[in-house]
Amino acid sequence: MTPAMTAAAARDGWLTTVLRPAGELGPAALGRLSAALSHLAASSDMAIVDLTAADIGNPRALAMSLRAPAREFDRTGRCLLMRGVSPGLAAELDRAAVPVITLGADAVPDPAA
């Protein structure tokens, strides 16, 4: 975080949004997730997408659907963080040059557990 972002957060507050899709992330669900993140990029300082309850059948399709909203977060100095990312999805995100922070499912304990 830059000093300007720190000052703005102290002055204006900080908004973090958490999305936790569940079940199969097929084409329709990927479209809804991408659209939601695009809207959040304009108002959230950070969005966390928790994939631990999602079934990702096509990691490449997920990576491609995240590219535009992730770039919007990145362009404005904000952050898109993905939790529960498999090694295969991490590879697809890298291959598609999606600017996100990734954490594996075991990186952070589930607070609900």
Domain boundaries, the chain: 15-103
Tell me the whole-structure pTM to 2 decimals. 0.82
Q: Which amino acid is at 37?
A: L
Q: Could you tell me which residues come within 8 angstroms of residue 83 by beta carbon, excluding any fewer than 6 positions away?
A: 48, 49, 50, 51, 52, 103, 105, 107, 108
How far is residue 107 CA from its own chain's centroid? 15
pLDDT tens profile 5-44:
556 655 677 899 999 999 999 999 999 999 999 999 999 9
| Res 82 pLDDT > 70 | yes
Query: Which CATH number is associated with domain 15-103?
Result: 3.30.750.24
Q: Rounded to whole angstroms, what are the CA distances from 98 to 4, 25, 45, 62, 92?
A: 24, 18, 18, 11, 9
